[in-house]
A and B are shown apart, each in its own frame.
Chain A
């Protein structure tokens, strides 16, 4: 059903449609800003990739050292998972 409110809304849309957005001021120099933004993203990506690959050997070495040190400092480590999870002094309760 087409009531009065529909017509009001239709008139509102019509009025706003006639109001063409003037974007000329924002468009000025857009290509320059865009290319600068793309260049910045390229540089950031290149930087991330550079540091990621450079740091991989260092982190690998650190992981190996931490593993060796933890095994060396705790030689009596048990293979039993429940022993590891049990709180200290657990046996004393019983």
Chain B
């Protein structure tokens, strides 16, 4: 088992992990955890759920690393696992009949101004309310497209659905959100 000192490549780390080197896995986790947390936070309702999702993602990675084919970059494989795990979390929540409660995950606004922060938090609450009324597939698609700014092709690759399917789900999600907005502003 080798001791890793310099910044090793993903391939090297994967080889080490498969050879039983747990510290190589810690390297890999440290390299990608921020991205995974950032993506999962768009779906998690609180800090505990966020931690659970991210742990599940990396446990799946650890247990299935032997099946990784190196045909695409490791990061893409990891992103697909993350999206699938977030989808599972959303479906579980739907079964639990979860209703809106916001939330222990703190958000930081890019420009830091307090008035725009308040406006953004109100927007987030309103959007969260709307998203919680969507089907899980619609929520997944619209979040990846609009909040993570992925393309239709990228969303299709991440979810394993066809591009046409992604477009249809995005269209339905937008229609539902617009009708919710209409009701909200009509009050």
Contact = CB atoms under 8 A, between A and B. Distances in A.
Interface of A: 5-6, 8-9, 11-13, 15-23, 25-27, 30-31, 33-35, 37-38, 41
Given A5-B181, A17-B149, A27-B34, 7 more contacts: A5-B182, A13-B147, A20-B110, A26-B54, A27-B33, A30-B54, A31-B30
Given A27-B33, A31-B30, A22 B106 contact: yes
23 contacts: A5-B181, A6-B174, A9-B174, A12-B123, A12-B126, A15-B124, A16-B147, A19-B108, A19-B109, A19-B121, A20-B38, A20-B107, A21-B108, A22-B106, A26-B50, A27-B33, A27-B37, A30-B29, A33-B51, A34-B29, A37-B55, A38-B62, A41-B59
Q: Which of A6, A16, A33 has the most CB of B within 10 A?
A: A16
Contacts of A13: 127, 146-147
Interface residues of B, number: 44
B109 A23 contact: no
A7 to B, nearest CB: 10
A35 B51 contact: no
Interface in B115-132: 116-117, 119-121, 123-124, 126-127
A23 B105 contact: yes
A37 B164 CA distance: 39
Contacts of B29: 30-31, 34
A34 B55 contact: yes
B108 A22 contact: yes
Given A30-B33, A30-B51, A37-B59, A20 B108 contact: yes
B6 interface: no
A2 to B, nearest CB: 12
Contact of A9 (B22, B109, B181): B181
Contacts of A20: 38, 107-110
B119 A15 contact: yes
A27 B106 CA distance: 13
Given A8-B185, A22-B108, A23-B38, A15 B120 contact: yes
B177 interface: yes
